[in-house]
A and B are shown apart, each in its own frame.
Chain A
Amino acid sequence: KQEVTQIPAALSVPEGENLVLNCSFTDSAIYNLQWFRQDPGKGLTSLLLIQSSQREQTSGRLNASLDKSSGRSTLYIAASQPGDSATYLCAVISDMRFGAGTRLTVKP
């Protein structure tokens, strides 16, 4: 059974800092992986989707990488802003499994 882990569970950084969120999965035979953000009391907003044949995807200040052989994905956020404060979740879509999320706080 696929297990998805996100470390750290919570992260607090000052505005402007670059940061990396980590996602690991136990079964490397994945089809794709998706990163989401969730604001308090809200649903999930898709950020980036990486197919298994890709190594990374970029959208604005966000860059997600995928290394199937090591069972890892990272979400890189450049020049963080207070509006980036949210919980970030990764999901192995083909196995319908989510990590528990990293709660990010960006302080002005």
Chain B
Amino acid sequence: GAGVSQSPSNKVTEKGKDVELRCDPISGHTALYWYRQRLGQGLEFLIYFQGNSAPDKSGLPSDRFSAERTGESVSTLTIQRTQQEDSAVYLCASSLDPGRGYTFGSGTRLTVV
């Protein structure tokens, strides 16, 4: 596609439920990143996929968070047993390669009630 697409744009869920967030990167971009941005704060790195290499999961805050990527296409970020502190905007970015800079999607605003 022309840009990075994220869905849904907004998600309200009850505490304890599981949620799946989707990111569709720019076609041909081998690198894909997930970040979290809490209200009024900076971007917190979560996970990085590069081609068929093992992902860098060093930023995932707990084992309730997981992410998958199918080849060099769509990625899903799953949060199990959501907590109120998971409320944030989840941003996805892709890159042709790590040296080319990021292109971001518009994000998914997650609210846990």
Contact = CB atoms under 8 A, between A and B. Distances in A.
Asked if chains A and B come from one complex, the reply is: yes
Query: What DSSP secondary structure best describes chain A's contact surface?
Result: strand
A13 interface: no
Interface in A65-101: 89, 91, 93-94, 96-101
B99 A43 contact: no
A97 B48 CA distance: 12
Interface residues of B, number: 22
Interface string B89-110: 0010101001111111111000
B42 A93 contact: no
Nearest to A51: B99
Contacts of A89: 42-43
A34 B102 contact: yes
Interface of B: 33, 35, 41-43, 45, 48, 56, 59, 91, 93, 95, 98-107
Interface of A: 31-32, 34, 36, 42-46, 49, 51, 89, 91, 93-94, 96-101
